[in-house]
Copies of this chain bind each other. A is one copy, B any other.
Amino acid sequence: MDPDLSRLDETLATLDVDGYLIDADSTDADQYYLSGFDAPDPFLTLYDGSVRLLFVRSLEFGRAKRESRAETVERFTDYGYDDYLEDHDRTEAAHRSRAAFLDAYGIDSVAVPSRFPLSTADGLRDQGIEVVVDDGEAVTDIRARKTDEEIEHVRAAQRANEAAMAAAEDLLDRAEIDGDRLFVDGETLTSERVKEEIEVTLLRHGCALDETIVACGADAADPHDRGSGPLEPGEPIIVDIFPQDKATKYHGDMTRTFCVGEPDDRVREWYDLTERAYRAALAAVEPGVTGSDVHDAACDVYEDAGEPTLRSEPSTETGFIHSTGHGVGLDVHELPSVAPGGSELEPGHVITIEPGLYDPEIGGVRIEDLVVVTEDGYENLTDYSVSLRIE
């Protein structure tokens, strides 16, 4: 996959700098994307029209030459590190090696991501290099528009996700109700047990698990709570799965809400309303509309039904208390934002649509699909039915 870096050239021109610099390990998605290299320790990637890597040590050197997309791969030792160590500590020697590396390519000024490490920036500035924060996060912005190959990677992760969701639903389907508990094979069914089923299924499909949400009752009322303990009959159970394909590093993302046994009328109402908000938001997705417009479409449905949203009541702690969605790719949360202030959608944007309602008194309900914006609308990358009741 060769990314289109022309927007990075534009950023260099706009910010009037010689190069773009990243100092991070490859868990930083911008670093992985720009370098094309997977390494557990931080390294330096310079973009000056070409991609150039600089490593601290020799350990990754050979592999980087074989696997990265870089035109040049070098080491601190190639830029005087051992000599600098005679008069300076390791930190200062590293600063000087980095500056010598930039100097060798005629780089006097660089743009960097907002989370670029301060120590490296201060060290380069001390050596006379101008370091400017790129508030526009050019590489993150480029990553938002996926190539066909990247879309296939997301699609594959979402296939694994569907298998994991089916495994979770099967387990809930097998549950028997006894009082205020659910039982499977004679054991109390817990959030942890369902998560284990999900995670083992993901593993069998080549995906790593970050965390998984299986949350019931008051847990489900907090959108960031992962859930724990026994699941209860008649309560909505939020299952939110966001696997990462281990080979490609791209993510899937999907949420369903299930109920084992009879939900009360309020939960039914919330589910129907959330399904309407989800369909309204989906219907709004096309190139040229903004993420903010799509968010508004979900808010309209909730507010028309009298439910609070952060748009109508900025300080509300119940109702629709998060954004409608976010981009998904190498990061599970990335651009574009499908939220207030969200910018214009473009073909190749991969986004979630995930409205929900929350109240500690009732629990939580959320429905989430993953879609890709196309030339004339969107394609839903998710193939999983939308239904609350588990019979």
Interface window among A165-173, A203-211, A232-240: A203-211
A224 pairs with B39, CB closer than 8 A: yes
**A58 CB contact (under 8 Å) in B115, B117, B208, B315:** B315
Q: Does A114 contact B (CB under 8 A)?
A: yes
Known: A58-B315, A114-B118, A200-B200. Contact between A222 and B63, CB under 8 A?
Answer: yes
B224 pairs with A63, CB closer than 8 A: yes
Q: Does A135 contact B (CB under 8 A)?
A: yes
Bound form: Cα–Cα A114–B246 in Å:
30
Q: Does A133 contact B (CB under 8 A)?
A: yes
Q: Does A159 contact B (CB under 8 A)?
A: no
Chain B contacts for A333, CB-based, 8 A: 40
Q: Does A307 contact B (CB under 8 A)?
A: no
In the assembled complex, how far is the CB of residue A361 from the closest CB belonging to chain B, in whole angstroms? 15
Q: Does A264 contact B (CB under 8 A)?
A: no
Bound form: Cα–Cα A89–B117 in Å:
23
Known: A203-B196, A208-B209. Contact between A58 and B118, CB under 8 A?
Answer: no
13 contacts between A and B (CB under 8 A): A27-B27, A40-B224, A59-B321, A60-B224, A90-B341, A112-B118, A114-B118, A114-B120, A115-B119, A116-B117, A118-B131, A199-B203, A200-B204
A-to-B contact residues, CB < 8 Å: 27, 39-40, 42, 58-60, 62-63, 89-91, 112, 114-122, 131, 133, 135, 196, 199-200, 203-204, 208-209, 211, 222-225, 246, 315, 317, 321-322, 333, 341
Shortest beta-carbon contacts, A-B, top 6: A114-B119, A115-B117, A116-B118, A118-B121, A119-B133, A118-B118
Extra contacts besides A116-B118, A118-B133 (20): CB < 8 Å: A27-B27, A40-B224, A40-B333, A58-B321, A63-B222, A63-B224, A63-B225, A114-B118, A114-B119, A114-B120, A115-B117, A115-B118, A115-B119, A117-B117, A117-B118, A118-B131, A119-B135, A196-B203, A208-B209, A209-B209
